[in-house]
Amino acid sequence: MKTFRTLEQSKKDLQEIQEYVALIEKYQPENFVQQVIHAYVIHGSIAKTAEVLNGLGYTIEQGEVSASIKSTPVKGDLLHKKVKSLYLKKTRSSRRVAKSYF
């Protein structure tokens, strides 16, 4: 754990994680972007996702995987919405414009 958590905070965290796992387990991809999202959730890596999808017969590069994740989710696609939010949070520091003071 990174920070101290009270019992109530831990229970809330556990419930959120359980809901996220349930969302992943019941997710049924209906199009290519949803297949990308599902593969990314399973493997957790842009490179691994591209590799797996290429192994399934698709031709996709890492940039296309990240573009699919950052695309606007279809209405009602809760997993894509959550994954996009987490991905943008994860990559925030690399997307920030460096401020020059000189």
Q: What is the pLDDT of residues 57-93, one digit of tens each?
A: 999 999 999 999 999 999 999 999 999 999 999 888 8
Q: Which domain holds residue 75?
A: 31-91
- 22-25 long-range contacts, Cβ below 8 Å, gap at least 24? 23/78, 23/79, 23/82, 24/79
72 within domain boundaries: yes
Q: How many domains does the chain have?
A: 1
Closest CA to 37 of 95, 84, 4, 5: 84
62 within domain boundaries: yes
83 within domain boundaries: yes
23 within domain boundaries: no
Phi, psi of 48, rounded to the nearest 5 degrees = -65, -40
Percentage of residues of the chain with pLDDT beyond 90: 84
Q: Cα separation of 81 and 9, whole Å? A: 24
The arithmetic mean of pLDDT across residues 2-18, rounded, is: 93
pLDDT above 80 for 16: yes
46 within domain boundaries: yes
8 within domain boundaries: no
